[in-house]
Amino acid sequence: MGKHLSTALDEYGDIWGVTDKELLFALEKYKTQLEMDIPHTDDKELDQIIKEGMDLENILKEEDNGEDY
């Protein structure tokens, strides 16, 4: 529980002066972020993204030459 509260309130610094409305807003914002963070279960997809990121220089060269990726 402490981890979630700490993460939700990390933008506020000193939380002693945080109002109830600010606390509610921070918790709702954090909840929304958690709901949007969809775990990737397909390791092949992640491996492909990493592989393409490592070859980014060549991908950019292909795009500059008018080639479709």
Does residue 62 carry a pLDDT above 90? no
Residue 30: the pLDDT is 93
Residue 25: the pLDDT is 95
Q: Residue 58's pLDDT band (boundaries 50, 70, 90)?
A: confident
Q: What pLDDT digit, counting tens, does each position of 4-56 carry?
A: 888 899 988 888 999 999 999 999 999 999 888 777 667 787 788 788 878 87
DSSP classification of residue 31? H
* Nearest-angstrom CA–CA distance, 14 and 49: 38
Residue 37 Cα to chain centre, angstroms: 7
